[in-house]
C-alpha cells in the first residue's frame, strides 16, 4: 500500500490533507470508496454532495473518530512530526450539562483566563448567557457555543459537519463570519454543507461526493461555473441526485 504523501502548502502553517484510496466498509456496505484527495489550499474546503454520499463519514475518518477500513490518510504541516491541533463542530451540537461558560472551560486546553473565555463568548453573542445552562439555549445558540468551544482549543484544522443546518439567519451569519475570521488567522476549515449559496460565500475549493466516491475536487470558482461531472451539474441545478 502506498502511503499518501502529506502535501505541502505554500503557507507553512496551513495544514494539508492527503488521502490515498481511503475506504470504509461497515457490515458489508461500502460507504467510502477509493477516496484520494490532496487538499493544499488555505481557507475553507467545502464538501458537497447529496444525502448519504459519505460526507460526514469522510470528515469523521479524517478527524480520527472512525478508523477507515482501507487506504491511508495524512494530515501534515511543513513542520513534520508536529501534532496538528484539530477540532470538530458536529451537526447536532453536543453540550455538557453545565453552564455556557463551563462548556468552554471544559474544552480549554490552554487554561485561558476567564476574560478570554468571555471574549470568546462575546464573539458568538453569548456573553449575556454565560451562566445559563447550555442545554437550554436555542439551536442556533447551541451551535454558536459549539463553534466557540472548538475555536477555544486553538485548532489549525477545523472540521464542520453541517453546522448551520436549519439555523436562523443571524446564527448562520455569526458562524460564517467566525469561520472567515479563523481562515484569516490561518485555520484550515473543512466544511460540509447542503447550502450552495453558503458554499459560494465560504469555499476556496470544493470536494463533491456521491455514493461514497469523490466525483470532483476543484477550486470553488471552477466548480460553480463549470462543473465537470454530470452529477455535480445536476446537483447545482437543484436536481435530485441519487
Partner 1 sequence: MPDSAFLEAFGLIATANADLYEILWLSVQVSITALLISVFLGFPIGTTLAILDFRGKNLCTTLLNALMGLPPVVVGLLVYLALSRSGPFGVLGLLYTPTAMVIAQVVLITPIIAALTYQVMDDLHREYRELFLSLNIQLPKAISTYLWDARYSLITTVLAGFGRAISEVGAVMIVGGNIDHLTRVMTTAIALETSKGELAIALALGVVLLTLALIVNGLVTAVRTRARKYGYT
- Name which of 57, 88, 89 is nearest 70 in CA terms: 57
- Does position 200 bind partner 1 by CB under 8 A? no
3-class secondary structure, 229:
coil
Is the Cβ–Cβ distance between 87 and 159 less than 8 Å?
Answer: yes
Give every CB contact of residue 85 below 8 A, 6+ residues apart in sequence: 153, 154, 155, 156, 157
3-state secondary structure of 80: coil
CB of 179 to partner 1, least distance (A): 17
Residue 230 CA: distances (Å) to CA of 17, 208, 210, 233, 241: 26, 11, 11, 5, 10
CB of 32 to partner 1, least distance (A): 17
Name residues contacting partner 1, limited to 56-115 (CB under 8 A). 60, 63-65, 86-88, 90, 94, 96-98, 106-107
Which span sits near partner 1 by CB under 8 A: 37-45, 129-137, 168-176, 194-202?
A: 129-137
Among 12, 136, 138, 226, binds partner 1 (CB under 8 A): 136
Interface characters, 141-180, with partner 1 (x: CB under 8 A): ------------x---------------------------
User: Which residues contact partner 1 by CB under 8 A?
Assistant: 60, 63-65, 86-88, 90, 94, 96-98, 106-107, 133-136, 153
Amino acid at each position: 500500500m502506498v502511503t499518501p504523501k502529506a502535501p505541502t502548502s505554500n503557507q507553512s502553517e496551513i495544514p494539508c490533507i492527503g488521502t490515498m484510496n481511503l475506504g470504509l466498509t461497515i457490515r458489508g456496505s461500502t460507504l467510502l470508496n477509493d477516496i484520494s484527495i490532496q487538499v493544499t489550499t488555505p481557507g475553507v474546503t467545502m464538501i458537497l454532495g447529496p444525502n448519504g454520499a459519505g460526507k460526514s463519514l469522510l470528515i469523521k475518518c479524517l478527524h480520527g473518530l472512525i478508523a477507515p477500513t482501507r487506504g491511508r490518510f495524512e494530515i501534515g504541516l511543513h513542520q513534520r512530526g508536529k501534532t496538528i491541533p484539530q477540532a470538530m463542530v458536529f451537526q447536532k451540537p453536543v453540550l455538557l450539562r453545565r453552564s455556557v461558560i463551563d462548556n468552554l472551560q471544559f474544552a480549554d486546553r490552554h487554561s485561558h483566563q476567564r476574560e478570554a473565555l468571555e471574549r470568546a463568548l462575546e464573539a458568538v453573542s453569548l456573553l449575556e448567557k454565560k451562566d445559563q445552562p447550555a442545554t437550554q439555549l436555542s439551536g442556533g445558540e447551541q451551535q454558536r457555543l459549539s463553534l466557540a468551544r472548538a475555536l477555544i482549543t486553538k485548532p489549525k484544522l477545523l472540521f464542520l459537519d453541517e453546522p448551520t443546518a436549519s439555523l436562523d439567519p443571524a446564527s448562520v451569519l455569526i458562524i460564517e463570519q467566525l469561520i472567515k475570521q479563523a481562515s484569516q488567522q490561518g485555520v484550515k476549515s473543512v466544511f460540509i454543507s447542503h447550502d450552495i449559496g453558503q458554499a459560494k460565500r465560504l469555499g476556496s475549493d470544493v470536494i463533491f461526493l456521491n455514493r461514497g466516491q469523490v466525483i470532483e475536487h476543484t477550486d470553488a470558482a471552477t466548480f460553480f461555473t463549470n462543473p465537470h461531472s454530470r452529477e455535480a451539474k445536476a446537483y447545482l441545478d437543484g436536481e435530485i441526485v441519487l
